[in-house]
Structure 1
Amino acid sequence: MAEPVTALVVDDEEMTRAIVAGYLARIGYRTLEAATLAEAWRILNDPAVTIHVALLDRRLHDGDGLKLFERMKTVPELAEIPVIIQTVSDSSADIAAAIRAGVFYYLIKPYDGALLRSVVRAAEESSGRMRSLQGDLRSRADAMGLMREARFRFRTPHEAQNLAIALSSIAETAHSLTFGLSEIMMNAVEHGILGIGFEAKSVLKATGTLGKEIETRLASPEHRDKHATLHVERNDDRIVFTVTDTGNGFDSSRYLTVDAFQSTATHGRGIALARMVGFDHLTYVGNGNRVIGVVDLNRPAR
């Protein structure tokens, strides 16, 4: 029998831990709970326990869950565990800090069970894919660094994420760049190639059917021949990424800042966060179906 997926939930509120455990039990996950950073660290280091995904609260009685994540990154056996940070704060600065530290997933309380299950599954699946890719990419990073100009075509979420991971190795801020590239390329797939609007995506995410809808549209006669392009130019000072799709575009100004409207939605923060942590400059041109992201190679590390 396959080992059940085990989630570690770190939260100092017993009721929250119980609710999360109930949500995850519906998809067959086993849950271990910790009320403090010290207790969580003990569980993480227990040789008899394998943790597949961790949900860490930002504000605990004995510290910040993000500090636990940073500590996990120093231990090879724990560094690859996908982490979801959860908090009541919708501060864009807090979210950006988590992404810079290496967290891809951030949940704002309160959230419903469908959203939690969707994010946990995505974190686990993405982590596994990234591990398999990065093992191969480490041996090719030097060769990737020789690139001065390249052009790619992509049309699926899998292709977009693989490209983002591969190309991020050419910058020292690899993790943040992976996040930024993933966001603007996934935007090109979902909204540009497939025509999934903001409101439609909200409904699909709420019902847990976004992935199925993407697969259906990719296979349809209307969309199966569409693609987006990524053009990369590099010199000694900067890298310029240009993503272009064939869609109708959108009003990018609505999404370039994390405003009060977006903070209540289940999505919509990606572009603003990509601008904050993935690139030094992010600009949409034309009708919004072309975006240019610039990474300054001479910028001091943040």
Structure 2
Amino acid sequence: MADAVTALVVDDEEMTRAIVAGYLARIGYRTLEAATTAQAWEILSANGAAIHVVLLDRRLSDGDGLELYERMKGVPELADIPVIVQTISDSSAEIAAAIRAGVFYYLIKPYDGALLRSVVRAAEETTGRLKSLQGDLRSRSDAIALLRDARFRFRTPQEAQNLAIALSSVASTGHSLTFGLSEILVNAVEHGNLGIGFEAKGRLKASGMLAREIEARLASSEHRDKYATLHVERSDSRVIFTVTDMGPGFDFNRYLSVDASQSHATHGRGIALARMVGFDQLTFVGTGNRVVGIVNLDRV
């Protein structure tokens, strides 16, 4: 790669920092190291724009790693850097606390290099998509805010993304709605209509074949006539997004929150993330092939 991706490793054990740096060097990352939250903050303050991901130990000699994460969220230049929390504790309470704080990547030591690399890539990919959506949203016209009632039909992930970008400006909640809406629209295509389940998506992502599989299924006789719909209703107080796909539904309760068993997976957090940051309410109807997301305008 032309410019090396930079990771900040914050851990009070020198050996751990060296091991993590070695793991990441295999995929072309360079690392900066800090032993304390104070050192980490100095590095972030001076080099924040150049840091792509932070691996943060939960327990440090000078405090809780989550306190550093909360501090980062208060600085616009640092708020979008993906953070992966690592710890020796598998306490469900600690994991829940990290998830409530907004950390969707949580590694329990010891872990192997392959798992670390896959989680780092997944975190960076998610954040990169969010930044891309943000930039596209800013380029759209404010005219969409005039919308009161509209229906859309879409069948590809790109069409889903385009809809999310265009329609998020119906409420001035910024990039969080863009991301949340794109998650439920893309989910309707990939999981609903095309039937790409959680385990299959994991295998396809690991092999780099996900995009090719999506194209193949879209062109197949089984799926080529399927589409999903989006109904948008806007009042003075709220916007209601209703997404319906042609799939059989799924066990949506499994994905409404992120628990310890999912904390190190490279996907599967989209619904929980959309529920946390994209909408005031997110409800699945029936078997799960219809989802209703509500944004309250009076909170903005």
TM-score calculated relative to the size of structure 1? 0.77
> Partners of 2:127 and 2:107 in 1: how far apart?
21
Q: Which moved more, 1:153-162 or 1:284-293?
A: 153-162
**1:101-180 alignment to 2 at 5 Å?**
105-110=104-109, 112-138=112-138, 140=140, 142-180=142-180
Cα distance change of structure 1 residues 250 and 24 upon mapping to structure 2, 3 Å threshold? same
Question: Which residue is 1:32 aligned to?
Answer: 32
Q: Which moved more, 1:156-165 or 1:25-34?
A: 156-165
**1:3-152 alignment to 2 at 5 Å?**
3-46=3-46, 50-72=50-72, 75=75, 78-79=77-78, 82-88=81-87, 91-98=95-102, 105-110=104-109, 112-138=112-138, 140=140, 142-152=142-152
Consecutive unaligned residues in structure 2, runs of 5 or more? none
- Superposed CA offset, 1:254-290 (max 9, x none): 4435566656765544434433443332222233211
2:181 pairs with 1:185: no
Partner-residue secondary structure (3-state), 1:145: helix
Conserved? CA contact 2:243–2:290, under 8 Å: yes
Conserved? CA contact 1:255–1:269, under 8 Å: yes
Conserved? CA contact 2:137–2:168, under 8 Å: no
Cα distance change of structure 1 residues 194 and 24 upon mapping to structure 2, 3 Å threshold? farther
> Partners of 1:123 and 1:259 in 2: how far apart?
17
> Partners of 1:49 and 1:297 in 2: how far apart?
32
Q: Which moved more, 1:133-142 or 1:234-243?
A: 133-142
Cα distance change of structure 1 residues 92 and 70 upon mapping to structure 2, 3 Å threshold? closer
> Partners of 1:258 and 1:122 in 2: how far apart?
15
Q: How far is the alpha carbon of 1:195 from its aligned partner? A: 0.8
- Superposed CA offset, 1:101-146 (max 9, x none): xx6x423425554444344334444544544543453354643332
Cα distance change of structure 1 residues 128 and 176 upon mapping to structure 2, 3 Å threshold? closer
**1:157-236 alignment to 2 at 5 Å?**
157-205=157-205, 209-236=209-236
2:273 pairs with 1:249: no
Conserved? CA contact 1:130–1:165, under 8 Å: no
Opposite residue 86 of structure 1, the aligned amino acid is V
> Partners of 2:122 and 2:212 in 1: how far apart?
14
- Superposed CA offset, 1:181-236 (max 9, x none): 23322321221122112333344456565455445434545434533222221111
TM-score calculated relative to the size of structure 2? 0.77
- Superposed CA offset, 1:28-70 (max 9, x none): 1112222222222222344698323333344433334444345
Number of matched pairs: 294
> Partners of 1:247 and 1:283 in 2: how far apart?
17
The alignment yields a C-alpha RMSD, in angstroms, of 3.6
Conserved? CA contact 1:6–1:50, under 8 Å: yes
Conserved? CA contact 1:115–1:206, under 8 Å: no
Partner-residue secondary structure (3-state), 2:20: helix
> Partners of 2:230 and 2:246 in 1: how far apart?
12
- Superposed CA offset, 1:62-87 (max 9, x none): 334444345445555x3475312324
Q: How much identity, in percent, do the aligned residues show?
A: 72
> Partners of 1:108 and 1:123 in 2: how far apart?
12
> Partners of 1:106 and 1:273 in 2: how far apart?
12
Consecutive unaligned residues in structure 1, runs of 5 or more? none
